[in-house]
Amino acid sequence: MSQGTMTVSSLNTKIKSLLETTFMHILVEGEVSSVTYHNSGHVYFSIKDKESSIKCVMFRSNSNKMKFRLERGQHVVVNGSISVYTPRGEYQLMTLSIEPFGQGALALAYEQLKEKLQKKGYFEQSNKKYQPQYLKKIALVTASKSAALQDMLKIIEKRWRLLEVVVIDTLVQGDKSAQQIAEALKYADTLGCDAIVVGRGGGSKEDLWAFNEEVVADAIYNLNTFVVSAVGHEVDVQISDFVADLRAPTPSAAMEMILPDQNEILYTLNEMQERYVRVMKQLVGNKEKNLKAFEEEFGRHSVSRKIAIMEKEFEILEDEFKRVMQYQMTQNENKLKPLQGELKEKLAYALQLRITGLKALEEQFKLSNPMVKQKEGWAEVVLAGKRVDLAFIKKDDKFVITDTKTRLEVLCTKKEIL
C-alpha cells in the first residue's frame, strides 16, 4: 500500500464517524417521494426537493407514535440523525419523528390541546368502548345537506339496509360549530343507538378546526355510546380522532369499517348452506352404506336364515329317517308280529300294577293331607311371608290368617298376653 492511501473500509469508517457526529438531531424539510410500511412495523421512505433526495427509515418504536399515515407527496419536516452503513458506504436519515410542514398558530394550539387531553387520559386505549358487531340503529352527527352525509347513506344502502338511521343536523365549521357538535353528540347519546358517527368531508385546517376544540373532545369522551370520528380525508387527523372509540379516514370509510357487507354475509350464508347440504348428503350416504352393510351382515347371521337352513337340514334328515325307517320296518315286519301279542300282555300286566300303586298313593295322600288333618277353629298365621306364632305379632303389624277355606289380611290393633 503506498503512503497516503487508505482502504475502502477505513474511508467508510471515517465518513461514518464524521457524518454521524456532525449531523445529529437535525430537521430536514422535503416532499415524500416514496414510502413503504414493512410488516415489522418499520417505515422506509425517501424525501426530496427539486435537486436531490435522501433515504430515511423510522423504526417501529417511533413509527407507532405517529398519529398520521405517511404518503407520497406530503410536505414534511423530518427529525433525525444521519446513519452510515459501512459495508456498502450508504447513508440514510434515522428518523425519530415526522411533522407536516408549515406548523402555525392552529398547529401549536392543536399540539397544546393534544398534550393536555393526553395527560387527562382521553386517548387511553383502556377507555375505548368495544365496537358492536351488528348494528341495528345508528346516529349520524353531521350537516344534513353535506356531501359527506350522502356518501354515508349510499354506503349504508349498499352494505346494510337493515340499519335504522337517525340524522342529527349540525354545523360542522365556523365559530359556533364546535358547541353545536357537542350538543348534537349529547342528544344522540340519549337515542339508544348502537353507534354514533360524527364527521364531515375534507377541507382546510381552518374548516376542520371544530373537531379540534376541547368542548367536542369532552363530549366524545363522556359518551356512553360507541362513537366513530370520521373527519376529512385520510391524511387529516383531528383531536376527535384520538378521543373517539374508532377513527375512520373518511365518512364513507366509517360506514365500511363498522357495517357488515350484506352481500358477503349472504354469500357466506349461501356457502354455509351449500356446505351443510354437502356434509349432510355425505353423512346420509355413509349412513346408508353402513346400514346396507349391516342389513347384509344381519341377513347372513339372522335367526330366520339360520332357521331356514335348519329346516332344510331337518327336511333332509326327515327324508333320510323315513327312508331308513321304511327299510327297517320292511325288514322287521315279520319279526314284530309274533311279539305283538306278548307285548300286549306285558303292557296290560304293567298297567294293572301301576293302577294298583296309584290307588295306594292316593289313599296315603288323603291320610297325609294337612287340610284333612287340620282341626276345626285352627288356622295358619303368616307375617312377612313366614309362618309364625301369634306371640310374634305386634301392635300395628299386618299379617295373613289362612285356614282350609278362608284367607284373611289382618291389622293388629291390640295385643294381650294370656
CA distances from 201 to 74, 276, 325 (A): 19, 45, 114
Does the pLDDT of residue 225 top 90, yes or no?
yes
The residue written with cell numbers 435522501 in the block is 54
pLDDT of residue 104: 47
Q: What are phi and psi of 172, to 5 degrees?
A: -120, 5
Segment 351-369 shows an average pLDDT of 78
Judged by average pLDDT, the poorest of 104-108, 115-119, 331-335 is 104-108
Phi, psi of 369 (to 5 degrees): -65, 120
Buried b (16+ CB within 10 A) or exposed e, 393-403: beeeeebbeee
CA distance 216 to 219: 5
- Ramachandran quadrant class, 384 (left: phi over 0; alpha: psi -120 to 50; beta: rest): left
Q: Are 201 and 251 in contact (CB under 8 A)?
A: yes
What does pLDDT average to over the chain?
Answer: 87
In angstroms, the Cα distances linking 114 to 13, 120, 156, 212, 238 are 42, 10, 32, 9, 9
DSSP, res 104: -
SS3 of 389, please?
coil
pLDDT for residue 184 is more than 70: yes
> Between helices 303-368 and 262-301, what is the axis angle to 10°?
60
- Report how far apart, in Å, the C-alpha atoms of 219 and of each of 97, 103, 189, 223 are: 30, 27, 10, 6
- Looking at 60-100, which runs of residues are DSSP E strands? 75-85, 90-100
Query: What are the domain boundaries of the chain?
Result: 8-102, 118-260, 370-418
Query: How far is the C-alpha of 110 from the C-alpha of 238, rounded, in Å?
Result: 8
pLDDT band for position 2 (50/70/90)?
low
* CATH annotation of 118-260: 3.40.50.2300
How is the beta sheet containing 407-411 ordered, strand by strand? Answer: 386-387, 380-383, 398-402, 407-411
> In the predicted model, what is the mean pLDDT of residues 393-401?
86
3 pLDDT band (50/70/90 cuts)? low
Same CATH fold assignment for domains 8-102 and 118-260: no
To 10 degrees, the CA torsion angle through 320, 325, 331, 335?
160
Q: Rounded to the nearest 5 degrees, what angle is found at the Cα of 44, between the Cα atoms of 89 and 240?
A: 150
Q: Per-residue pLDDT for 112 more than 90?
A: no
Mean pLDDT score, 365-392: 72
Residue 333: predicted pLDDT: 72
Rounded Cα–Cα distance for residues 269 and 258 (Å): 20
Predicted local confidence at residue 368, as pLDDT = 59
pLDDT band at 374 (very low <50, low <70, confident <90, very high): low
106: pLDDT strictly greater than 90: no
Q: What is the pLDDT of residues 170-182, one digit of tens each?
A: 999 988 899 999 9
How much is the pLDDT for 256?
Answer: 92
In single-letter form, the type of residue at position 235 comes to V
Residue-wise burial string across 27-48, b where 16 or more C-beta atoms lie within 10 A, e elsewhere:
ebebbbbebeeeeeeebebbbe
Query: Which range (101-110, 125-134, 310-319, 377-386) has the least confidence?
Result: 101-110
* pTM (2 d.p.): 0.45
Q: 197 phi and psi, to 5 degrees?
A: -115, 120
> What pLDDT score was predicted for residue 306?
78
> Would you say domain 8-102 falls under CATH 3.20.20.70?
no
Grid coordinates representing 132? 358492536
More confident residue, 204 or 152: 152
Res 369 pLDDT > 90:
no
- Judged by average pLDDT, the poorest of 62-76, 188-202, 209-223 is 62-76
Reported as a single tens digit per residue, the pLDDT across 7-53 is: 999 999 999 999 988 998 899 999 999 999 999 999 999 999 999 99
Is the per-residue pLDDT at 105 higher than 50?
no
